[in-house]
Amino acid sequence: MNILVIGTGYVGLVTGACLAEMGNHVTCIDNDKIKIKELKKIKLPIYEPGLEEIVKTNIHSNRLEFAVKIPSYISENTIIFIAVGTPSDNEGNADMSYVYQVAKDIGKKIDNYCVVVNKSTVPVGTGEKVEALVLEEIKKRNLKFDFDVVSNPEFLKEGDAIKDFNFPDRIIVGSESKKANQLLDHLYAPFSKKKSKIIFMSRRDSEMTKYAANSMLATKISFMNEISQICELTGVDIENVRKGIGSDSRIGYSFIYPGCGFGGSCFPKDLKALIQTAKNNSFNPVLLDSVQDRNIKQKKILFTKITSIFGQNLTGKTFSVWGLSFKPGTDDVREATSIIIIKSIIEKGGFINAYDPFATSNAKKEFNANQLEKIKFFNNEYEALINSNALVLITEWAQFRQPNFEMIIDHLKEPIIIDGRNQYDPIYLKSVGIDYFGIGRSNVKILNKN
Q: Which listed range, 96-104, 235-243, 294-302, 412-420, lies at the site for ligand NAD (CB under 6 A)? A: 96-104
> What distance in Å separates the CA atoms of residue 206 and residue 122, rounded to the nearest whole number?
10
101 binds ligand NAD (CB under 6 A): yes
Considering only residues 262 to 281 of the shown chain, the ones binding ligand NAD according to CB under 6 A are: 265-266
Q: Which is nearer to ligand NAD, 29 or 339 (CB)?
A: 29
How far apart are alpha carbons 395 and 257 in whole angstroms?
A: 13
Q: Which of 42/446 has CB closer to ligand NAD?
A: 42
196 SS3 class:
coil
Alpha-carbon Rg for the chain in angstroms: 24
State the catalytic residue, choosing from 28, 114, 260, 266.
Answer: 266
Q: Which is nearer to ligand NAD, 36 or 301 (by Cβ)?
A: 36
Active site includes 28?
no
Among 3, 7, 17, 257, binds ligand NAD (CB under 6 A): 7
CB of 16 to ligand NAD, least distance (A): 11
Which CB, 12 or 323, lies closer to ligand NAD? 12
* Residue from the set 10, 319, 355, 397 that interacts with ligand NAD by CB under 6 A: 10
Q: Closest approach of Cβ 293 to ligand NAD, in Å?
A: 22
Interacting positions 325-364 with ligand NAD (CB under 6 A): none
Integer Cα distance of 164 and 170 in angstroms: 10
User: Which residue's CB atom is positioned nearest to ligand NAD?
Assistant: 9
Q: Do β-strands 435-437 and 318-322 pair in parallel, antiparallel, or remain unpaired?
A: unpaired
User: Rounded distance, CA 76 to CA 266, Å?
Assistant: 33
The answer to whether residues 305 and 418 touch, using CB atoms and an 8 Å cutoff, is yes
Binding mask 117-136 toward ligand NAD (x if CB under 6 A, else -) reads ---xx---------------
Among 4, 12, 359, 424, binds ligand NAD (CB under 6 A): 12
**6 in contact with ligand NAD (CB under 6 A):** yes
Question: Distance between CA 156 and CA 219 in Å, rounded?
Answer: 18
Complex with ligand NAD: residue 206 or 422, whichever CB lies closer: 206
87 or 252: CB nearest ligand NAD: 87
Looking at residues 405 to 444 of the shown chain, list those that interact with ligand NAD (rule: CB under 6 A).
none
Mapped onto helix, strand or coil, the DSSP state of residue 261 is: coil
Q: Per CB under 6 A, which region of 30-38, 233-241, 293-301, 441-449 contacts ligand NAD?
A: 30-38
- Max Cα–Cα distance, the chain, nearest Å: 78
H-helix segments, 235-365: 238-246, 267-280, 286-298, 301-310, 337-347, 360-364
Contact 107, 137 (CB under 8 A): yes
Long-range CB contacts (within 8 A, 24+) of 33-36: 33/68, 35/8, 36/8, 36/66, 36/67, 36/68
**Collapsing DSSP states into helix, strand and coil, what is residue 398?**
helix
Q: Beginning with the edge strand found earlier in the chain, give each strand of the sheet holding 318-322 in spatial order.
A: 375-378, 351-355, 318-322, 390-393, 416-419, 435-437
Nearer to ligand NAD, 35 or 109 (CB): 35
Q: Which of residues 144-163 bind ligand NAD (CB under 6 A)?
A: 154, 156, 158
By beta-carbon proximity to ligand NAD, the closer residue of 95 and 414 is 95
Give least dist CB 29 to ligand NAD, A: 6
Burial 111-146 (b: 16+ CB within 10 A, else e): eebbbbbbbbbbbbebbebbbebbeebbeeeeeeee
The region of 8-16, 167-175, 195-203, 416-424 touching ligand NAD under the rule CB under 6 A is 8-16
Is residue 88 at the binding interface for ligand NAD, with CB under 6 A as the rule?
no
Measured from the CB of residue 12, what is the shortest distance to ligand NAD in angstroms? 6
Nearer to ligand NAD, 46 or 314 (CB): 46
d(CA 315, CA 6): 48
- Identify the three-state secondary structure at position 177: coil
CB 323 within 8 A of CB 356: yes
Least distance to ligand NAD from the beta carbon of 397, Å? 18
Q: Comparing C-alpha atoms, which of 396, 325, 317 is closest to residue 362?
A: 325
Q: Shortest CA distance to 219 belongs to which of 272, 256, 266, 164? A: 256
Q: Which 47-86 positions form the footprint of ligand NAD (CB under 6 A)?
A: 83-86
In the complex, minimum distance from the CB of residue 86 to ligand NAD, in angstroms, rounded to a whole number: 4
Contacts with ligand NAD by CB under 6 A lie at 6-12, 29-32, 35, 83-86, 98, 101-102, 120-121, 154, 156, 158, 265-266
- Catalytic positions, written as ranges: 266
